[in-house]
Amino acid sequence: MSNPSNLKYTASHEWVKSEADGTISIGITQHAQELLGDMVFVETPAVGRKLKAKEEVAVVESVKAAADVYAPVSGEVTAVNSELDSAPEAINADPYAAWMFRMKPDNAADVATLMDAAAYQAVVENEAH
């Protein structure tokens, strides 16, 4: 599965999708879910929580590890995907559809500074070496 070109990415393996209403959706990448393995639990943040860029915001737990998910930019949590409560495996099935939370960025321009698919692919390949 290749990384969709309409998304932005972080070095900590989150993907970021700009929604029509000005919010952004955040999930973890194909590469991240592959490393973690079968997901068993997702701990999502409280709606309304104010976040700074790179702050720990959620936890994904697989059968073999638990990993933090970081805020890609500063902003406020506006929604969480409660469907993942009962079906965390959706992250394994289609990581780019399984968003975890949405946030309203403090500065919309911050999102544009994140990596594009090609830059993220280089990060992943570099990590493999």
Partner 1 sequence: MPFIPHTEQDIQSMLASIGAKNIDALFDEIPAALRSGKLAAIGDGLNEMQVTRLMRERAAQDAQPLNFVGAGAYEHHIPAAVWEIATRGEFYTAYTPYQAEASQGTLQVLYEYQTMIASLTGMDASNASLYDGASGLAEAILMAVRAHKTSRRVLLPATVSPLYRSVAHSIVKLQNIELVDIPFDIATGTTDINALQQHAGSDIAALVIPQPNFFGALEDVDTLTAWAHAQKALAIALVNPLSLALLKAPGNWGVPHPNPLVEQLAIRLGRQTTATKSLVIPQAGEGANESLRESKISGADIAVGDGQPLGAPLSSGGPYFGFMCCKQALVRQMPGRIIGRTVDLDGKPGFTLTLQAREQHIRRAKATSNICSNQGLMVTAATIHMALLGIDGLRRAAAASHTNTQALTVQASGLHGVKRLFSAPHFHEVVLHLPESSAKVLNSMAGQGVSGGFDLRPHYPQLGNAILVCATETKTGEDLQRYVAALRHVLQS
Closer to partner 1 by CB, 19 or 56: give it.
Answer: 56
**Residue 115: strand pairing partners:** 9
Report yes or no: 47 and 113 within 8 Å, Cβ to Cβ.
no
What is the nearest approach in angstroms of partner 1 to the Cβ of residue 109?
A: 32
Rounded (to 5) percent helix, strand, coil in the chain: 25, 35, 45
Sites of contact with partner 1 (CB under 8 A): 40-41, 43, 61-66, 68
Closer to partner 1 by CB, 61 or 106: give it.
Answer: 61
How far is it, in rounded angstroms, from Cα 16 to Cα 38? 22
Closer to partner 1 by CB, 67 or 117: give it.
Answer: 67
SS3 115: strand
What is the nearest approach in angstroms of partner 1 to the Cβ of residue 64?
A: 6
What is the nearest approach in angstroms of partner 1 to the Cβ of residue 6?
A: 32
